[in-house]
């Protein structure tokens, strides 16, 4: 029998991350320095540890207003080329230190124009940071450009994704409040991306239910779902039996990836606790589940910590963690050959080594 993976072991496993926001993972010390550089005022603290605590408390407060305020500060200081490049570079370093080997990190270029940058300058600054991160830390990071669902720039952002597709932008996303802003509002952008054979994911089924998931898949043609937790509204559980409705069956049959973010879902109220998070049921029913961080700063988390919490709540072992990881790599927007190389050349050998070294009986 395998030893239960510890956080320390999990950090050494080669991991894959598909849903992570650049403005949700900035280091507190960097926020303070960048604020000083550009004369940004209004940070709630100027000591890194105090600022870190403030972010986590605001995110845990249950107040949407306070949660959104956290992003106004990170986005507020990410308004210059140097700031964007630095934040991307440090993101690559932090993920690499957590054992992530492949990541897709997203951000909304339209939120970084406050000090006069163009959309192109924003995209190029972020790509530059990740390219340097790849050179120094070996981690491969693709970016997703996000359009804000309450704004009207999705077509422009979709065109940006296509223009930079061979330079490190691997896909497109829409984010922001779901209620009142259905994905079909941006149908022209999604149709354009489909005609261009481009990849995209849609934040859907987090705060809002099945109609949002249905629209994202059947109207917009999403390759993946950001969160998608509400798909359980279409599953009836009776003891060990589960009856899937047509949409849930479709999502499972077509192997549509669910980018699940357990800790973040608890903070936004989409789930009550890790133990009650739908990920347990969806994994048991073999949906294409992946494990993600969403906002590492606000949630005080990392991929390894998300895994460790799942190990504790559901008793997962190395096979489960490898299954989530291979699911994520299969679902990545990187080209097929690259995905295969990661799965066979990095992920499987890496997990095999950890399983082998941990293979001693439980005391
Ligand atoms: Zn998200």
Distance (angstroms) between ligand 1 centre and the Cα of 204 equals 9
Expressed as residue numbers, the domain containing 245 is 7-26+78-356
Beta partners for 201?
173, 224
Q: Is 70 within the bounds of a domain?
A: no
Angstrom distance (rounded) from CA 310 to CA 61: 23
pLDDT score at 239: 87
Count: domains in the chain: 1
Helix (H, G, I), strand (E, B) or coil at 66: helix
Q: Are the C-beta atoms of residues 30 and 73 closer than 8 Å to each other?
A: no
Distance (angstroms) between ligand 1 centre and the Cα of 354 equals 30
The strand pair at 15-21 and 100-107 is best described as parallel
Q: Is 168 within the bounds of a domain?
A: yes
Active site residues: 206
Least confidently predicted of 4-13, 177-186, 273-282? 177-186
Distance (angstroms) between ligand 1 centre and the Cα of 294 equals 5
Beta partners for 235?
244
State pLDDT tens for residues 1-21: 457 899 999 999 999 999 999
Angstrom distance (rounded) from CA 299 to CA 59: 7
Q: Is 263 within the bounds of a domain?
A: yes
Phi, psi (deg, nearest 5) at residue 222: -60, 140
State pLDDT tens for residues 149-178: 989 999 999 999 999 999 999 999 999 877
Q: Taking 90 as the threshold, does the pLDDT of residue 92 lie above it?
A: yes
CATH number at residue 103: 3.20.20.140
Q: Is 53 within the bounds of a domain?
A: no
Helix (H, G, I), strand (E, B) or coil at 242: strand
Q: pTM here?
A: 0.96
State pLDDT tens for residues 283-310: 999 999 999 999 999 999 999 999 999 9
Q: Is 336 within the bounds of a domain?
A: yes
Q: Is 321 within the bounds of a domain?
A: yes
Q: Is 134 within the bounds of a domain?
A: yes
Distance (angstroms) between ligand 1 centre and the Cα of 17 equals 12
Diameter over CA atoms, the chain: 61
Q: Are the C-beta atoms of residues 148 and 174 closer than 8 Å to each other?
A: yes
Q: Is 320 within the bounds of a domain?
A: yes
Q: Are the C-beta atoms of residues 192 and 228 closer than 8 Å to each other?
A: no
Distance (angstroms) between ligand 1 centre and the Cα of 287 equals 19
The average confidence (pLDDT) of the chain is 95
Distance (angstroms) between ligand 1 centre and the Cα of 226 equals 6
Q: Are the C-beta atoms of residues 285 and 12 closer than 8 Å to each other?
A: no
pLDDT score at 96: 98
């Amino acid at each position: 029998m395998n030893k239960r993976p510890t956080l320390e072991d999990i950090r050494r496993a080669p991991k894959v991350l598909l849903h992570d926001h650049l403005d949700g993972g900035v280091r507190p010390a960097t926020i303070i320095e960048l604020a000083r550089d550009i004369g940004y005022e209004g940070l709630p603290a100027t000591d890194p540890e105090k600022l870190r605590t403030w972010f986590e408390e605001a995110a845990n407060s249950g107040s949407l207003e306070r949660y959104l305020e956290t992003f106004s500060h990170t986005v507020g200081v990410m308004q210059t080329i140097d700031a964007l490049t630095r934040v991307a570079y440090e993101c690559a370093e932090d993920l690499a230190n957590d054992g992530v080997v492949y990541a897709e990190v997203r951000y909304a270029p339209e939120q970084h124009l406050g000090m006069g940058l163009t959309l192109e300058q924003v995209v190029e600054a972020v790509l530059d940071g990740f390219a340097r991160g790849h050179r120094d830390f070996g981690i491969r990071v693709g970016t997703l450009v996000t359009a804000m669902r309450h704004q009207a720039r999705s077509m422009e952002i979709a065109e940006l994704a296509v223009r930079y597709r061979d330079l490190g932008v691997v896909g497109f996303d829409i984010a922001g409040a779901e209620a009142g802003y259905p994905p079909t509002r941006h149908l022209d952008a999604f149709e354009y991306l489909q005609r261009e054979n481009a990849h995209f994911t849609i934040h859907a089924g987090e705060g809002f239910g099945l109609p949002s998931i249905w629209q994202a898949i059947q109207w917009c043609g999403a390759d993946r779902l950001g969160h998608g937790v509400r798909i359980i509204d279409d599953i009836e559980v009776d003891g060990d039996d589960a009856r899937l409705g047509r949409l849930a069956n479709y999502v499972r049959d077509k192997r549509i990836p669910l980018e699940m973010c357990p800790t973040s879902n608890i903070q936004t109220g989409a789930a009550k606790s890790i133990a009650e998070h739908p990920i347990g049921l969806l994994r048991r029913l073999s949906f294409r589940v992946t494990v993600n961080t969403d906002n590492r700063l606000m949630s005080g988390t990392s991929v390894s910590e998300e895994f460790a919490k799942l190990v504790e709540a559901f008793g997962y072992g190395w096979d489960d963690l490898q299954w989530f990881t291979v699911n994520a790599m299969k679902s990545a927007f990187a080209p097929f050959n690259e995905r295969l190389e990661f799965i066979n050349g990095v992920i499987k050998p890496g997990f095999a080594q950890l399983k082998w070294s941990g293979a001693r009986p439980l005391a």
